[in-house]
Amino acid sequence: MKAKVLLAATVAFAGLVLNAEFKAGFSRVDVTPPLGIPIPGYFNMRIADGVLDPLVIECVAVSDGTNSALIYSVDDVHLTNPFFEKAFPAITAATGIPRDRIFVHSTHTHTGATDWPREYYSEEQNRLVRLFADIRIAKLADIGCFALDDMAPATISIARTECKDVSFIRRYRMKDGSVRTNPGLTNPNVDCPLGTPDETLQLIRFKRTGAPDIAIINFGTHPDTIGGTKYSADWPGVVRATFENGIGGGVKCLFLNGAQGDVNHHKRFPSPARAALYPARKEGRSKAIAEFMGHAVAGAAMSVWDICEEVPAGTVRGEVKAYAMPANVPTADEIKWVELYDAGRKDEIPLGAMEIKTLVGKGSRVRKLKDGPDHFDLLVSSVAIGETIAFAGLPCEPFVDIGRDIKAQSPFRMTVVTCLTNGSEGYIPSTKAHHEGGYEGLSSRYAEHTGDKLVAAQVGQLKELAKANAAE
């Protein structure tokens, strides 16, 4: 009996020591690029000619006393594999953090700067892109060090809520049976949306001793409300500023975008008040929409900030692993349509304008994959804190059902799914959505069942980390 009591006391004491050792730190740096750099995200060339609001890199460092991890959020449309080939070694060299515990997420703002040179840019444009890439890599390394230096003892609390009427499915079944992305706010030919948005907002609070608290906010939808040729962090930037100003006390906020491949800000048949946010331009983009969305998301997070549930810390672990995924090899019809386009016979292609642009562009899937390969390696990343919290990083733009499935099958109480993490592989539709058709499936270099395989890979990785932490 005494032995059992002693064992229980020892386990309880060990848990207290582990929690006491947990630390968290934060750093943020302005990385607004020089003007003249191309802005990716659309089919047309855009060159930056101004700044609406600053672009930043944020980093949260966490440590269990032995192992540390770095969780970054970068204001950009994406960071590609060539960029990471230089960035990861630089971060590790500066911070000592191994590759499997470096988690770099892009918020996917469509008013950020190109990360790496492109063959279709001019020599001067690529010179500026390359210069800015080197600066950004250096800053990633620096703020990793700053976040580690800022670490203070912390406890962890979590909360969930909903942010309603902000994110909307952007793919629709039309009355003629076709599938269209963004068919127009009041298009009478729309039949129904193909899916439902995930309106869940997740919040992690690090309560620190002797230092301001840190918030991580996770919500998923496209940051594409601004448009134009001026740098902007879009609505995620508004989330950070609104939350920090609203909570006060020096609190720091890092934002992580979730599964967002098939959702954005377009509400069909908006009310007169909401319609006033949209400009006359058919794209339906404006600073007012970014502010509305940012205020709504930050407000939802603030509503649960004071009622977060404290949870135990634990061992910090991470894993990054490549999984072979089938390539979306073009069909005979798709190759034929590209040949028709090249022959000046666009009118004979039975697709909408957006789908035609997707198939025939300079970097289109059909042109790149008509001779193979039959598969690609896709990196999946995870960071776990004890048995309660996991960050599930996907190097793509996953559809909301993929994010839902990962969260539902994860062994962790809170699983923060993030898009465009440690890579950029384009759209990954769910298997159902890929089969339905549309712009995203046409552009994806991954085949129809990749969504299911991606869920299985991510959940398997999370289960391995959970099992390892539970065994301690």
- Rounded CA separation 356/341 (Å): 9
Q: What is the DSSP string of 67-119?
A: -EEEEEEE-SS---HHHHHHHHHHHHHHH---GGGEEEEE---TTS--SS--T
The answer to whether the pTM exceeds 0.85 is yes
Domain segments of the chain as ranges: 18-323+376-470, 330-371
Fill in the amino acid letter for 423.
G
∠ CA 139-145-151, rounded to 5°: 135
User: What is the reported pLDDT for 409?
Assistant: 98
Question: Length of the chain in residues, anyone?
Answer: 472
Tell me what the mean pLDDT of segment 447-454 comes to: 96
Tell me what the mean pLDDT of segment 258-271 comes to: 94
- Bridge partner residues of 61 (DSSP): 25, 70
User: What is the reported pLDDT for 42?
Assistant: 87
Tell me what the mean pLDDT of segment 353-373 comes to: 84
* Residue 4 pLDDT exceeds 60: no
249 Cβ partners below 8 Å, 6+ apart? 212, 213
- Residue 412 — pLDDT band, cuts 50, 70, 90? very high
- Rounded CA separation 98/68 (Å): 9
Which of 82, 84, 149 has the alpha carbon at shortest distance from 118? Answer: 82
Identify which has the larger pLDDT, 355 or 113.
113
Which of 120, 264, 85, 121 has the alpha carbon at shortest distance from 182? Answer: 264
C-alpha distance from residue 274 to each of 114, 301, 389 (Å): 32, 22, 36
- In this structure, the number of other CB atoms found within 10 A of the CB of residue 8 comes to 10
Which of 414, 411, 456, 407 has the alpha carbon at shortest distance from 431? Answer: 456
User: What is the reported pLDDT for 24?
Assistant: 98
User: What is the reported pLDDT for 11?
Assistant: 40
User: What is the reported pLDDT for 284?
Assistant: 58
Quick one: CA torsion of 214, 215, 216, 221, rounded to 10 degrees? -140
Lowest mean pLDDT among 278-282, 305-309, 404-408: 278-282
Q: What is the DSSP string of 4-47?
A: HHHHHHHHHHHHHHHHHH-EEEEEEEE-PPPTT-B--SSSS--B
Q: What is the pLDDT of residues 313-323, one digit of tens each?
A: 999 999 999 99
- Residue 357 — pLDDT band, cuts 50, 70, 90? confident
Strands 230-231 and 50-51: parallel
Tell me what the mean pLDDT of segment 90-94 comes to: 98
Strands 171-174 and 152-162: unpaired
User: What is the reported pLDDT for 280?
Assistant: 54
- Rounded CA separation 276/437 (Å): 32
∠ CA 327-422-386, rounded to 5°: 115
C-alpha distance from residue 385 to each of 92, 155, 229, 265, 421 (Å): 20, 12, 40, 32, 18
Q: Which residue has the tokens 């990861």?
A: 88
**Dihedral sign (CA 342, 344, 349, 354):** positive
- Rounded CA separation 353/359 (Å): 10
- Residue 283 — pLDDT band, cuts 50, 70, 90? low
* Residue 277 per-residue DSSP state: T
Q: What does the block give as tokens for 400? A: 């909301």
Q: What is the pLDDT of residues 151-189, one digit of tens each?
A: 999 999 999 999 999 999 999 999 999 999 999 888 999
